[in-house]
Amino acid sequence: MGDNGAGKSTLVRVIAGADPADKGVIEWKGEPVRVHRPQDARALGIATVYQDLALCENLDVVGNLYLGREVHRAGVLDEVEMERRASELLGSLAIRIPDLRAPVATLSSGQRQSVAVSRALLGAPEAVVLDEPTAALGIEQATHILDLIEQMRERGLAVLIVSHNLGDIKAVADQVAVLRLGRNNGFFDVNTTPQEQIIASITGATDNTGRKPVRPWP
Amino acid sequence: MAVNDREPPPGGATRYLRECLRLLRWGAGTLVTAWRVGRTGSLPVVLGLVVIWIVFESIDTDFLSARNLSNLSVDLVGMGLITVGVIFVLLVGDIDLSVGSVSGLAGAIFAQLNVNAGVPEWLACLIAVLGGAAAGAVHGFFVARLGVPAFVVTLAGLLAWNGLMLFILDTHGSINLDDQGLVATLTNHYFGNALIPLGLAALGLAAYLAVALLGRRRRTVAGLPGPTLGAVAVRAGLLGAVLFGAAGVFIGFRGLPLSVLILLVTLAVLDFVLRRTTYGRKIFALGGGIEAARRAGIAVEAVRMSVFTVSGAMAAVGGLFLASRITSVGQTSGQGDLVIDVIAAAVIGGVSLFGGRGTTWAALLGVLVIQSIASGMALLGVQVAVQFMITGSVLLAAVVLDSLSRRAQRSHGRA
Ligand SMILES: Nc1ncnc2c1ncn2[C@@H]1O[C@H](COP(=O)(O)OP(=O)(O)O)[C@@H](O)[C@H]1O
Ligand SMILES: [Mg+2]
């Protein structure tokens, strides 16, 4: 969590390999790893849903889901297989999009968010990073996305959600890390920490950015 | 009036009229919906072409004669080949204004090497095309690597490559090509045997049917909705009508032109590249959002450079066909309204200037519109001035349609 401009999306892009960090170390399962390109993160099993979704407006749903990892058959794009797997995946996530061949530009914002989330899940990742997944949505669509996040957790995926909304975080998260002015401003256990303390950390009423983290990431 | 002498059957005419109106409204409704979601395909340009042909034919019955249509087809090949290259650039959302100059440059390189330096024709052709590709790669470098807007880079190219062409032509002014040679053959060879166009039309139709039916069966097996047999039949029928109609026209005047065959094969191959390969998918992805493509792991710079290279190479190939048509290369080769016509053709054919939408067949349809206007005007003896104004208006109309369609699609998505 963190206030506007705290550096949440920047951190997400660093993790995803979209904007590599100038310095610092990324550790994955205890090992230092190099993440310089989006492919690197993907190869590690980290999938990302960006705040702006990063969908290609002109491509259809299937094209977006498989962008950068198309399925081939004798060297030629295998549209039938991609569409079959795509509709299977969307079905298993209870996402309803009437026409998988419609350009993404014609979809509603809730549908686009669903497409972006399913794209993240397509490569069977181990960890999913979601940047403000509910910020642009109405209540009903936001609930659906939170349901999807619950589903990921039940499947045993690690989920990292960036959010402003303490309500969403209380609903789905176990741990909160607060970012303030580009630095870590504390880790909290969602179930035991009073709400006010988290908010104080977000707004800077308690400033820990200069000191060591209150508690190491578990 | 004679019709009013007789009492119309009560209600009959009005009911008939009402039915017609309902049918019209239904048709218009479907069209508007298709337009909103950006799926009208080639329908507007095909309708436009039909209107243009009907108008010119009704003014001058020579217009739709086999002779005129055949000549028109051979005339449009050079421009069509240049247009396909530009379409690659337009699809990623950039523009290439240099293609006219590059086509002239290629002609000059060929003429100088072959006619004046005695280099064999095939080698001179190869060098000319590689030269065009190199010119395109230079544009691509500045656009993709250094981030200079394509508009400015290729505008500079327009001037600079024209300068290089004049430099190569030197004091010769214009160079006449060997009118029995390979390059001349490109546009003056016709397959006189009537079985060749008919056989190729049948082959094209059979290939279409095979691909459509096999694809349909695979979709059914995979449990996906596919086109109905009726839809496949209707499309095959339309394609067959066009193919055999064209074959009939060519048989009516000297046979199938080699140049037209080359254009069609090129369009089909590049269509396959764009729609069925990973490379083509990357090109469309760039047109739909460079940042999104980058985050999907696509090597954006390389793809952007490649489309300019394709454009340069196709401009050179087109330049050789233009030189072939008049068997000479001169100081005005590739200049004038060529570049405007080429970009107009792409947009008229349905390629979006905003990137990400279009097919290679737009080159054929768009160039047909432009050349039909030019040829019709020439038949009627209309001045070039008027022709420019009309082509300009058609271009403007196509761009307006493109912008409106994009806006409609966006608001449809937000709703
Ligand atoms: N660690 C950092 N060091 C320096 N600048 C940063 C850092 N993190 C973020 N920024 C800058 O802060 C600005 C806002 O970051 P952003 O990630 O968009 O915020 P948020 O998503 O939290 O609203 C960006 O311009 C970014 O470059
Ligand atoms: Mg953000």
**pLDDT tens digits, A164-195:** 888 888 889 999 999 999 888 889 998 898 88
The answer to whether A216 touches A173, Cβ cutoff 8 Å, is: no
pLDDT digits (tens, 9 = 90+) for A86-134: 999 999 988 999 899 999 988 998 999 999 999 999 988 999 999 999 8
Identify which of B142, B177, B115 has the alpha carbon closest to the alpha carbon of residue B322. B177
CB of A20 less than 8 A from some CB of B: no
Residue B162 amino acid letter:
N
Q: What angle do CA B55, B56, B62 make, to 5 degrees?
A: 140
> What residues line ligand 1, using a CB cutoff of 6 Å?
A 2, 4-10, 182
Of B295, B296, B410, the CB nearest to A105: B410
What's the confidence (pLDDT) of residue B69? 94
Query: Mean of the pLDDT values across residues A44-48?
Result: 94
Closest residue, chain B, to A41 (C-alpha): B297
pLDDT of amino acid B388? 86
Is A106 in the B-facing interface, judged by CB distances under 8 Å? yes
Chain B residues whose CB is inside 8 A of the A48 CB are 295
Report CA-CA distances (Å) from A15 to A48, A121, A129, B2.
Answer: 9, 17, 9, 82
* CB contact (8 A) between residue B289 and residue A57: yes
CB within 8 Å of chain B, chain A residues 30-89: 37-39, 42, 48, 50, 52, 54-59, 63, 67-68, 70, 72, 75-77, 80-81, 83-84, 87
Do residues B405 and B35 lie in contact, with contact meaning Cβ atoms separated by under 8 Å?
Answer: yes
- Say if CB B333 and CB B82 are below 8 A apart: no
Q: Which residue is closest in CA terms to ligand 1's atom 25?
A: A5
* Partner-chain contact A77 B277, CB within 8 Å: yes
- In angstroms, the CA B177 to CA B180 distance is 9
- According to DSSP H, which parts of B147-181 are helical? 150-169
Distance CA A54, CA A162 (A): 16
Q: What is the pTM of this model?
A: 0.90
Determine whether the interchain pair A54/B38 forms a contact, defined as Cβ–Cβ distance below 8 Å.
Answer: no
Q: Are B343 and B402 in contact (CB under 8 A)?
A: no
Ligand 1 pocket: which of A10, A51, A162, A183 to mutate (most atoms <8 Å of CB)?
Answer: A10
| pLDDT value for B3 | 45
Q: Do B294 and A16 touch (CB under 8 A)?
A: no
The bound ligand whose nearest atom lies closest to the alpha carbon of A6 is 1
Q: What does pLDDT average to over chain A?
A: 89
Which of B90, B279, B295, B402 would best serve as a mutation to test chain A binding (most A beta carbons within 10 A)?
B295
CA dist A135 and B143 (Å) reads 35
The C-alpha atoms of residue B376 and residue B364 are separated, in whole angstroms, by 17
Distance B365 CA to ligand 1 centre (A): 49
Cα–Cα dist A130/A202, whole Å: 19
- Give residue B415's pLDDT: 43
Name the average pLDDT for chain B. 90
User: A53 C-alpha to center of ligand 2: Å?
Assistant: 12
What are the extents of the domains in chain A?
8-173
Q: CA torsion, points B267, B270, B272, B276, in degrees to nearest 10?
A: -150
Cross-chain residue pair A67–B277, CB shorter than 8 Å? no
| Contact criterion met (CB < 8 Å) for B292 and A56 | yes
How many other CB atoms sit within 10 Å of the CB of residue B229? Answer: 11
Please, which residues bridge with residue A175 across strands?
Answer: A189
**Any B CB within 8 A of A144 CB:** no
Which ligand 1 atom sits closest to the C-alpha of A132? 21
Q: Is the pLDDT of residue A209 over 90?
A: no
What is the number of CB-based contacts under 8 A between chain A and chain B?
Answer: 101
Query: Distance from the CA of A5 to the center of ligand 1, in angstroms?
Result: 5
Write down the H helix ranges in B225-349: 229-251, 258-276, 278-288, 290-295, 300-326, 338-348
Does the distance separating the beta carbons of B222 and A83 come in below 8 Å?
A: yes
Evaluate whether A35 touches A210 at the Cβ level (below 8 Å): no
Residue B394, Cβ density class (10 Å: 0-12 exposed, 13-18 middle, ≥19 buried): buried
Per-10-residue mean pLDDT of chain B, 415 residues long, equals 47 70 71 59 85 92 92 96 98 97 97 94 97 98 96 97 94 89 95 95 96 94 90 94 96 96 97 96 95 94 97 98 95 90 93 93 95 89 87 86 80 55
Right CATH for A8-173 from 3.40.50.970, 3.40.50.300, 3.10.580.20, 3.10.580.10: 3.40.50.300
